Amino acid sequence: MATNGDCSLLVASCDAYADLWIPFFNLLRRHWSDVPFPIYLGAGERSFSGPGVSTLHSVGGRDWSQCMIDYLERLEHRYVLVMLDDFFLRGRVETDKVLHCLDFARLNNAVQVRLVRRPGPTQRVPGERVVGECAVALRYRLSTQAAIWDRLAFRSLLRRGENIWEFEHNGNLRASTQPHGFYSVWRSVLPYEGIGAHHVIEKGKWLVHEKWIFSGKAIGCDFGRRGSLSFSELVLYHVAQGLDRTIAWLPWGAKQCLKKWLKAALAPLMRERFRRMGGIEPPRLPPGSR
């Protein structure tokens, strides 16, 4: 069996999201009090003084892949469980299931074992009930959802200058040369999946319903540090999510072109609709937004 010494837990973040560190780690301690791995926070220049958490620094700034390279090169474990800072745990984590996935990763020379079903596997592994394999053709076969990674294999897939979305696209192209090695659980092992969203921050702002949910948890959220999506922004977010699911079957390049065309075509209609609702102009999304 794999030992706890095979793996570390890395929470990937940056200084701009420092206001999420206290609530994230409070929820981690609340829902996963027996984390069997050393815990690291990937940050920029700032440090976090939470109990049992060591900070890894990077000068990569906005270069997400460079930051990840810096963090991974400072770790020594063969495996690393990577979580993102704006995905808050919502329920108890069963440590034995996480360790089962770690055992599976070692025994099957896995590159990635995703711990949430986003997306799920495409085929069964003989004799295995928790984890399945992800076929090469699966969209987001490689993803940045919470997963156990072979640290060196993860490092080999990263390229400096790529943001998180570019890594998921280009990294999948690079990973397509590997017929095996990418797996996912049939049922999520880390319970951070919500109803309307699975993360709490969108475009640097709180999702309103997530802010409402976690405001009553007494976990140290500082809602004065960043704003919330307006009603119009929230509507557009959910419209975009629905559109994304509708055209998910398209190749990535064709999907991006179609989304760009639809945004341009719908902008005048949406502007008029929001004006009728009360003089609200629709938000202008930054370049490269999902």
User: Helix axis angle, 231-246 relative to 252-278, nearest 10°?
Assistant: 150
What was the pLDDT predicted at 284? 40
Enumerate residues 6+ apart whose C-beta is below 8 A from 178: 111, 136
What was the pLDDT predicted at 89? 97
C-alpha separations of 113 from 21, 25, 118, 282 in Å = 25, 23, 12, 39
Structural domains of the chain ordered from first start: 4-185 (3.90.550.10), 201-278 (no CATH)
Residue 4: both structure tokens together: 């706890």
For residues 189 and 93, is the Cβ–Cβ distance under 8 A?
yes
| 3/265 Cα distance (integer angstroms) | 55
What was the pLDDT predicted at 194? 81
| 154/109 Cα distance (integer angstroms) | 13
At residue 218, what is the residue type?
Answer: A
pLDDT in tens, the chain (290 residues): 455 679 999 999 999 999 999 999 999 999 999 999 999 999 999 999 989 999 999 999 889 999 999 999 999 999 999 999 999 999 999 999 999 999 999 999 999 999 999 889 999 999 999 999 999 988 889 999 999 999 999 999 999 999 999 999 999 999 999 999 999 999 999 999 887 678 999 889 999 889 999 999 999 999 999 998 876 666 666 565 555 656 555 665 666 677 667 666 666 655 554 444 344 443 443 333 33
What was the pLDDT predicted at 195? 73
| 181/112 Cα distance (integer angstroms) | 7
Q: Where are the alpha helices (DSSP H) in 108-178?
A: 151-157, 164-175
For residues 101 and 131, is the Cβ–Cβ distance under 8 A?
yes
Extended beta strands in the chain, E state: 7-12, 39-42, 53-56, 79-84, 112-114, 123-124, 131-133, 147-150, 182-185, 201-202, 205-206
